[in-house]
Chain A
């Protein structure tokens, strides 16, 4: 294994913080969803890297990663459906405009 484990963890940490920045700074709800997808991918890189380097005989790391991918698919489908429903009603997907619960 030519690449040390810390390289994988470093790349994953960079991807995680880029995703967190995207989720925090975007105005558009779809942009926030894409940031969350990046965060989930960073988690998956960590799971698979730990499986490969620390417990390669135990398949649990890959099982966890597949379950995370499945949950991410469900999250994207429901999230985009909510965005489209909100857009149809309010003609905007900017999360700053969605403040009807404040009044």
Chain B
């Protein structure tokens, strides 16, 4: 009798979920425990990619694209640039953990245990309703409708952050240095 893969009762979503969990959690562990900060930033990209896969699996396709473009394309690359700015920023040859790491480890483990316990024990009011097909359209209408003011506030926040980052990170000219 020939092997028929459709008889295997493992749903496709579950396989994707497990693969993305390996990416996300494994990448996050690499970010936290890697001794080289540059490798940490590369692991961060792996972890962010896993989260983008989660969004696609949760049928939020637009968010998956936003995650890829904003998080991986902008934030992770920005962090990589900041690390490559100097060799000493990579922290090679010195310990990466501070003196309190042995306190933070049980605190983090306890926090995770409590959160997972709550997530499992509570009966969530789950519905079986399928999400709307045109969720991108709904998203655009929401941003220019009921969420117009948060949208505009976020735009102003981005402009302020952009100007502030340029002001903080730019090199001072000789004239300014002499005045200060």
Name the residue of chain A whose CB is nearest to the CB of B117.
A13
Query: Contact check: which of B119, B162, B165 meets A6 at CB < 8 Å?
Result: B119
Asked if B63 contacts A66 (CB within 8 A), the reply is: yes
Main secondary structure of the interface of B (DSSP, over half): helix
**Number of B positions contacting A (CB below 8 A):** 90
Say whether B165 contacts A78, CB under 8 Å. Answer: yes
State how many residues of chain A have any CB contact under 8 Å with chain B: 75
B44, B88, B130, B143: the one within 8 Å of A63 (CB): B143
Q: How far is the CA of A65 from the CA of B60 in the complex (A)?
A: 11
B1-19 vs A, CB cutoff 8 Å, 1 = contact: the mask equals 0000000000101100100
Extra A-B contacts (11), CB below 8 Å, given A30-B37, A55-B127, A67-B150: A5-B126, A25-B97, A26-B96, A27-B96, A28-B96, A52-B131, A66-B66, A67-B154, A69-B66, A80-B82, A96-B99
Query: Dominant SS at the A interface?
Result: helix
Task: Contacts A10-B116, A13-B116, A80-B82 given; indicate if A35 touches B32 (C-beta within 8 A).
Answer: yes
Report yes or no: B59 in contact with A77, Cβ–Cβ below 8 A: no
Q: How far is the CA of A32 from the CA of B17 in the complex (A)?
A: 28
